[in-house]
Amino acid sequence: MTDPFGRTIDYLRISVTDRCNERCLYCMPEGYKGWAQKADHLSADQIVDIAAAAARIGFRKFRLTGGEPLIRADFLKIAQGIGALPGLHSLGVSTNGLLLAPMAADLARAGVRAVNVSLDALDPEAYRKLTGGDFAKVRAGIEAALAEGLMVKLNCVLLRGINEDQYRPLIRFAADHGTPLRFIELMPLSSTDVLTEANFLSVFELRARLHAESLLEPLADYRPGHGPARYWRDQATGAYLGFIGAITTGDFCANCNKLRLTADGKIRPCLGRHGELDLKTVLAAGSDLGELLAQAIAQKPEDHEFTQNYQPARPMTAIGG
């Protein structure tokens, strides 16, 4: 399926819940109350039905995310359902890693092949301050996933003045574990105290700093997975470093390949624009899901509105990060 701008859209990112067991300062800090009603969440069967409809019209890549997807009690049922779809090219999970260690073997058995783990600090105290979580569990999760043969990528949102001192230890950790590390620019996706210009650190600035400290070799053709990162190799450590600069990379949207399914059954053509189509009503009416997905593809905008004073109406956790 091709959108009006000639981009092939074959990737569905599914938020299975907007709840989370961490409290990242930039995502849903302590005291956050923007939850959807749990009763509004799609059931496991509904999620698999939607993914199957997407597969029938050409979607080949699926990612389960949230909120924290692994807190859903029926998560493996969802993964198994999607893992068994005909024509599937890849099934990935985005997680904070807290529950990954005990689940890694089951995920691999369910057909999950790739896991993206958020890791914003390596120092346990800094990690706890930023996320409320326990770094030892996340580390165990990353190592368990690697031991199961899953492809692991690390994601880091660097905030100026908060965790910017963590990038070198994180790069070393990524090199030691043979996992690509991606730096993601802070995006205006919810309303939190650290979503300010003062905390924003562009990937351009970070790359310039890294370049000054060691040498970065551009990897024009390296694209593990199907994400928007552009990669460089850090000569000092050998680490593969990805940079996701949604705000400062001019042609960031040029290769967009995805739609997003929200935890409460809306299809979102673009993370950085408000438009949504209601899939749940179509599901309840037993109508053609594929047709609505095709409409969403036809409505994909050329680019996001993050740099045009985009105001988040609904948090990223609901939309699916």
Residues that bind ligand SF4 (CB under 6 A): 20, 22-24, 27-28, 66-68, 96, 118, 131, 317
Please, what is the minimum distance in Å from the beta carbon of residue 3 to ligand SAM?
Answer: 23
Nearest approach in angstroms of CB 168 to ligand SF4 is: 22
Q: What, of ligand SF4, ligand SAM, none, does residue 270 touch, CB below 5 to 8 Å by kind?
A: none
Burial call 140-167: b when 16+ CB within 10 Å, e when fewer: bbbebbbebebbbbbbbbbbbebbeebb
Structure tokens at 26: 């930039």
H-helix or E-strand spanning residue 137: helix 135-147
DSSP H stretches of helix in 165-202: 167-177
Near ligand SAM by CB under 6 A: residue from 42, 63, 79, 94:
94
Q: How many CA atoms lie within 13 A of 150 on its CB side?
A: 31
Select the binding partner of residue 166 from ligand SF4, ligand SAM, none (C-beta < 5 to 8 A, by kind): none
Exactly one of 83, 141, 245, 321 binds ligand SAM (CB under 6 A); that residue is 321
Q: 44-56 and 75-83 are packed helices; what angle lies between their axes, rounded to 10 degrees?
A: 20
Residue indicated by tokens 């959807």:
36
Residue pair 154/119 in contact (Cβ under 8 Å)? The answer is yes
Closer residue to ligand SF4 (CB): 3 or 120: 120
If one asks whether residue 155 binds ligand SAM (CB under 6 A), the answer comes out as: yes
Only segment of 5-13, 88-96, 278-286, 302-310 that touches ligand SAM (CB under 6 A): 88-96
Distance CA 316, CA 321 (A): 6
Say how many CA atoms lie within 13 Å of 122 toward its Cβ: 14
Asked whether the beta carbons of 85 and 52 are under 8 A apart, the reply is yes
Q: Is the dihedral of CA 128, 20, 245, 136 positive or negative?
A: positive
Tokens found for residue 130: 């930023």
User: Residue 59 or 183: which CB sits closer to ligand SF4?
Assistant: 183
Residue 290 CB, nearest distance to ligand SF4 (Å)?
A: 29
Q: Is 157 in the site for ligand SAM (CB under 6 A)?
A: yes
Residue 68 within binding range of ligand SAM, rule CB under 6 A: yes
Maximum alpha-carbon separation in the chain: 59
Q: What letter would DSSP give residue 40?
A: G
Query: With CB under 6 A as the contact rule, which of the stretches 2-10, 91-99, 106-114, 291-299 interacts with ligand SAM?
Result: 91-99
Nearer of residues 20 and 115 to ligand SF4, judged by Cβ: 20
184 binds ligand SAM (CB under 6 A): yes
163 contact choice in ligand SF4, ligand SAM, none (CB below 5 to 8 Å, kind-dependent): none
Please, what is the minimum distance in Å from the beta carbon of residue 24 to ligand SAM? 6
Task: Supply the minimum distance, in Å, between the C-beta of residue 290 and ligand SAM.
Answer: 27
Q: Which is nearer to ligand SF4, 24 or 297 (CB)?
A: 24
Closest CA to 314 of 46, 28, 23, 29: 28
Give the binding site for ligand SAM (CB under 6 A). Answer: 20, 26-27, 65-66, 68, 94-96, 118, 155, 157, 184, 186-187, 189, 316-317, 321
